[in-house]
Amino acid sequence: MTHKLSVAPMMEWSDRFCRSLHRVLSRRARLYTEMVTTGAVLHGPRERLLGFDAEEHFVAVQLGGSDPADLAKAARICADFGYDEINLNVGCPSDRVQNGRFGACLMLEPALVGECVAAMKAAVSLPVTVKCRIGVDDQDSEEAVDTLTAAVVAAGCDELVVHARKAWLKGLSPKENRDVPPLDYSRVYRLKQARPNLPIGINGGIKTMAETHEHLRHVDSVMLGRVAYHEPEILLAVDPELYGEEPPVADAFEAIEAYEPYIAARLAEGHRLHTVTRHMLGLFTGRPGARAYRRHLATEGTKPGASLQTLRDAVAHVSRDSADLEDAA
Ligand X SMILES: Cc1cc2nc3c(=O)[nH]c(=O)nc-3n(C[C@H](O)[C@H](O)[C@H](O)COP(=O)(O)O)c2cc1C
131 is in an annotated binding site: yes
Catalytic residue among 92, 105, 132, 157: 92
Identify each DSSP E strand in the chain by its residue range: 5-7, 30-37, 59-64, 85-90, 128-132, 159-163, 200-203, 221-224
277 is an interface residue for ligand X by CB under 6 A: no
205 is in an annotated binding site: yes
163 is an interface residue for ligand X by CB under 6 A: yes
Residue type, 282: G
Exactly one of 28, 73, 131, 278 binds ligand X (CB under 6 A); that residue is 131
Give the residue with the Cβ less far from ligand X, 20 or 129.
129
64 is in an annotated binding site: no
129 is an interface residue for ligand X by CB under 6 A: no
Under DSSP, the state recorded for 156 is: T
- Alpha-carbon distance of 135 to 200, in angstroms, equals 16
93 is an interface residue for ligand X by CB under 6 A: no
- Alpha-carbon distance of 3 to 38, in angstroms, equals 26
Minimum separation from the CB atom of position 94 to ligand X (A) = 9
Closest by CA to 273, choosing from 299, 311, 229, is: 311
Of 19-27, 203-211, 240-248, 301-309: span binding ligand X (CB under 6 A): 203-211
301 is in an annotated binding site: no
Q: Is 116 an annotated catalytic residue?
A: no
Minimum separation from the CB atom of position 190 to ligand X (A) = 19
Report whether 172 contacts 166 (CB < 8 A): no
Cα dist from 283 to 173, 247, 318, whole Å? 28, 16, 10
224 is an interface residue for ligand X by CB under 6 A: yes
11 is an interface residue for ligand X by CB under 6 A: yes
Helix (H, G, I), strand (E, B) or coil at 15: coil
- Alpha-carbon distance of 208 to 198, in angstroms, equals 25
1 is in an annotated binding site: no
Footprint of ligand X (CB under 6 A)? 8-13, 34-35, 62, 89, 91-92, 131, 163, 178, 203-206, 224-227
Active site residues: 92
